[in-house]
Each structure stands twice: as structure tokens, then as C-alpha cells.
A and B are shown apart, each in its own frame.
Chain A
């Protein structure tokens, strides 16, 4: 009578056969249907997988597939759908987990497929973005066309719906990431064409990863194919398709993705699909009313009426998320309020005038006075303005500097011109000497007339310049070039307000 050994897996008594003979209980279990499905031994659900048409594609078991991919260790089947089957695998050399996706063998029957596959694979490989599932490798192994992709440990959006959905705050964190990924792809000229909750993955850190870019185009899924075997899952895919994608699939552009995003967005917020006459999200759940506009605009049936760029969706969503009006500009960090500016400039001008006159009165020549003023008013204020650019003092200094510079330029000019007007003769003499023109009797009158005209023009030019440059400077300080601002600038540029402000 020998001692009985126990099977390490099921605890059954082992027969006294050879040391290697398999445990009978485990052998019997081989017959169970469910064991064969979980070919590697792990659960087939609860990992991100795309869904599709069940039963149409019978994927090989993980172990059988393992032989076809010598460079990978196939661990388990994660999911299967109309677009193929996904397995969890390991690259032994790099000791990292990857996802292996194989396409249904029937795709290979089309002789042109190989070329399309190579082209699409290259396009997909170009996409390198933190929110897009990366493609590591692709090719053909025996009868299987395959992709080796980034393995994402987490769930897809469909699974979050099944467990009650995400709270609105998280939805508003997810959508911008989807927008980033889509905008990036659109910039690369790639349209996803099959955005749906099953294709949006969330990893353990809450980061969005979009999968299956370009697969819809590669597999040529025409709408007709989706109407076969009306299981709920297949028909569901239609709901995410833009209207133009169903009517004219060849003329679809990136705006189809925006529509699908709108559907997903709506479903994320409300848990329902926007079918028929649907209520805006704010009426169904506790979300900001301004989101309604965003979602509805994304869901516009006419592509022309929709958002034209995904990045616009992101901007709008983010501004709603921050609780701010979309049109309100960010607070001006540097510029003093409008109604302070003109009096301040006036004060600066007056100050300059006083200083200059005082220096002159002290007996110094105008030239010297001018140099002093430049040294002690213009230069310091300009330097302060430059150094303390982003502070309030800096912005005031900027105004001072501009006023001083203007004064430093205009006052001498004005004095010179005034002197010339008063007595043009010395200047004329100098002109006669240099040019050798003979003096005439009406020269002085002519010159005076010219001077008046010129002075007037100069004055106009000066004010106009102040208006334009001042406006541009203000716009740049503000960071925005809206016409609203320009109007404000016009008001403050010196044409009307100084008249008002002057005592």
C-alpha cells in the first residue's frame, strides 16, 4: 500500500502511475467548455478589449498562436470582435507586456489587402502621441495579419458605462485628452472613423489611450457589413457614425470623428445615446449648461455646421471646466485699467515739461537740459519698464517711458520748428549756402507756408502714430487682438479722451 500523492492544482489523489502522468481530475476537466475558452488560464473579460460581432471569427487559442510567433510569449486571449482578436503577450527580450492583435483570416483573401495593410500600418506607426495606443510592429505570420501594440492595463469607456459611468468632472478630464489625440491624428492626415466607447481606453492612471486608429479604413467596413447579424453590439456601432459616413462613406473627412466624439461625450454625461429628439445633457444630469452648446455643436448633422477642428472642442470644454465665460479675456497682468492710462500719460508729459523748463531756467542750455532729461527720466523709466515687465510698476513705467521718449523727441523738434517759423532766415541762409539756390523775395513766405503745412502734417502723423502703435502695444500686452480691444484703444489713444480729461 503506497502513500498517495496529491495533485498540486486540484488536490486530487494521484494514481500510482509514473511520476509524470497527469492528474486524472485535471484531465477530466479538460473536457469542460469553459476551460478551452480561457486558453491561457486567465479571465477573458475585464481587460480592455474591442467588442464586435460574436461568433463570426473563431480565434485560435493562446497556446496555438504561440507557435506562430516565436519572438513573443502569448499569455492569454483578451477579447475578440469583428476587427480581430487581441491577446496579451510578452516580449521576453525586453521583458515587457504587449498586446497582439490578429485580423480575421478572411481579410487575406483580397489580393490587394497586403498592400493596403502595409500602407495603413505605416500610417498608424507614424502616430506617436501619449493618448494614442502605439504600434510597435506589424506583419504577417502564417495566415494572420498582426499588430504588436502597446499593452494598456485598464478599462475601456464601455466598461465604465456598465459600472455606472464617470462623474462629470472626470468626463471633463477625459474629453480633452481624446481631443488631443484626435487633433494630433488629424494633423497627420489620419481619420479614425470608428470612435466609440470600446475604442477609448483608460489606463490605471486615468490617462486616455485611443485604439484602432485607421483599422476601420483598412478593413473596409462599409455600413452594409454592420447590418448583418443584428446583435445589439453590432447595431450599436452605427450610433457613433456621422450621418455623412453612412450616406457617403467615401467623402468622409476628419469631422466625422468630431461627430462620434459628440456621441461619446453625450453618452458619457448622460448614459444614453443621443437618438431622435434627445434632451440636452444639462437637462439630464447636473452639468454646466454651457456644455450643451459644445455637445450639440459636435452633434450637428451637417458637417459644415459642426466644429471644424477638434481643438476647438477642447478649448470650449476646458473653458467651461474652468467656470469662465468663453469670450472673457484673461486678466491683464500688466496693464493698468483704461481710465488710468490717459491722465497718467498726461501727468508724465507735464512732469517732463516741468523738469525741462526748470533745468533751462537754472541757466543750462537747452541741449544740456535735454541730455539731462534723457539721462534721468527717459533711460531709467525705460529700464524699469523692461526689467519689471510683468508687474504693475513695470506697466506704469512703460507708460512713463513712452511719454518721456515722446517728449524728448517732440519738444526739441517743436522748439526748433517754432524757432524756424519765427525766424526762418538763418536756416534759409544755410540752405542757400549748401544748395546754391538763389534767394527769392517770397522765399520766406513760402517757407513759412510750407512749415505750417508740414507742422500740421507732422502733428497729425504724430497722433496717428500714437494711436496705432499704442493700440498695437496694448494688444500685445493683452495677448489678444480682438476688435473690442481695438475699439477701447481707439478711445484711449488720445483723440477724444484727452479733450475730456484735460481740466
Chain B
């Protein structure tokens, strides 16, 4: 079971942290799910449904089929049907999800019963219409469905992190600061812009630099937290980041 998943983190606090990440909860629960593990799984699926949808669409299914397929898959997932896949995927939610989906498509999904919806099935709160329009907007490239999946996963993750940060700033009453500063999250410092921004906000350039730096630190730690929700050990976080970086670069 999850005993084979030994976290490589050496600090006790990490062990504790990973014990409560969603994926770890799910893994720990196994077949006997608790309310927490079910809720955890549901949250994970709600966050990362779009990459799956994009994958399915890229496979060639049209909008209606993709929607049905995705919904069906999640229903099965939440019925705890695929948790035994976990052993093979070595503790990463992302790979687990894709593998389970592939399994579902091959073995279970029946096109002919596409019309079946509702009725006792657990539904996720998913906005398929928005998803479809988003998919349409993406430039059609030569990517494989898998790379589409990974790329969209990374983008979903980043969105998640930015939303979380925005909420933090909003709670502090500084939402507009977030919008202005988040532009500087990456890349070289553009000193001229710092000066302008400082003038606009009525503060010093030094203060702006400090604020940007703090935002970066917060972003980083939030990012790692979110990734931690989908892996089960500290070492996996860096691996995951590199994998997603490669996916975004291609």
C-alpha cells in the first residue's frame, strides 16, 4: 500500500505535511476511503479536469463525446475503481490520472451509451462549455495528446497558484498590488519599470523591489505547496517541476 511510498524528506515536518496532502490522503485511504480522502480526490479532479478534457479532444473525440467521456471517467474514479493503479504510477497524481483515463477509454467507455447522464452518479462541478471554448482557442499544433495533457496540467497548476495568491492579497486588501507586481514574477528586473511603478504607487524603488521579491518567494512556496498536493514526497516536487517545465517549453 502506501507504506511502499516512503517519503524521502528527512525533516519530520515534511512527513507531517505530506501526510495531509490530498494525494497522500487518497493513497493512504486506498480502498477504505474516508470522508477526507473522498473530498481530497474530488478537489484534485476539479482542479485538473481540463487537461484531461484537452487530452480527450486531442485524441479526436468531438466536444460531446469528450464531455461524456470525461464525466464518465470521473464518476468511475470517484467510485474508487482505479485506486489500485496507484502502485504502478509511483505516487504522482498526474500520471495516475492519465493512466486511469487511458484504461477507462480502452476498457470501459462505450460510445454507444454516450447519452447516459445523471442518475445517482457523483458529479464534479465542471464547466464543460468554458472548457470547450478554451480548447478552441488553443493553436492547433503538432503536439501529441500526452504533451497537450502535460502542458495543460502545468497551466492549470499555475492558474491555481495565482488564484490562491490573489485571494491572499485580496484578503489583505491589496488585490491591485498583486496585479501590478505579478507582471514582474519572472525574468530580469526592468529597473525603469520599477521606477515607474514606484512613482505610481507612491513609494520607493527599493520598496517595490522588496515587494516583488516577497511576491516571488510567496509564489514559489505556494507553487510547491500545490505540487505537493499531487505528489507524495519532497523529492518528487522538483522532478515534477522539471517535467512540467519541459512540457511547457516544447
Which A positions have Cβ atoms within 8 angstroms of B? 1-2, 4, 9-12, 15-16, 20-33, 36, 61, 63-64, 66-68, 70
Contacts and interface: CB of A to CB of B under 8 A. Distances in A.
Given A22-B185, A31-B220, 6 more contacts: A21-B183, A26-B187, A30-B219, A32-B241, A63-B209, A63-B210
Contacts of A68: 206
Interface of B: 137, 139-140, 154-155, 157-158, 182-183, 185-187, 189, 204, 206-207, 209-210, 212-214, 216-217, 219-220, 223-224, 227, 237-238, 241-242, 244-245, 248-249
B248 to A, nearest CB: 4
B139 A36 contact: no
B216 A28 contact: no
Contacts of A61: 213, 217
B202 to A, nearest CB: 16
A20 B190 CA distance: 12
A33 to B, nearest CB: 6
Contacts of A64: 210, 213-214
Chain A residues touching B, majority SS: loop
Contacts of A33: 238
A21 B155 CA distance: 13
Contact of B245 (A29, A36, A70): A29
B107 to A, nearest CB: 33
A66 B204 CA distance: 12
Nearest to B205: A70
B121 to A, nearest CB: 34
A33 B238 CA distance: 8
B187 A28 contact: no
A64 B137 CA distance: 39
A10 B249 contact: yes
A22 B209 contact: no
Contacts of A31: 220, 223-224, 227, 237, 241
Nearest to B182: A22
Contacts of B207: 67
A70 B206 CA distance: 7
Contacts of A9: 186-187
A22 B210 contact: no
29 contacts: A1-B140, A11-B249, A12-B249, A22-B187, A23-B186, A24-B155, A24-B248, A26-B186, A27-B158, A27-B185, A27-B219, A28-B158, A28-B248, A29-B241, A30-B216, A30-B223, A31-B224, A36-B220, A63-B210, A63-B213, A64-B210, A66-B209, A67-B206, A67-B207, A67-B209, A67-B210, A67-B213, A68-B206, A70-B204
A31 B162 CA distance: 13
Q: Which 6 A-B pairs have the closest CB atoms?
A: A67-B210, A26-B186, A25-B248, A63-B213, A31-B223, A67-B206
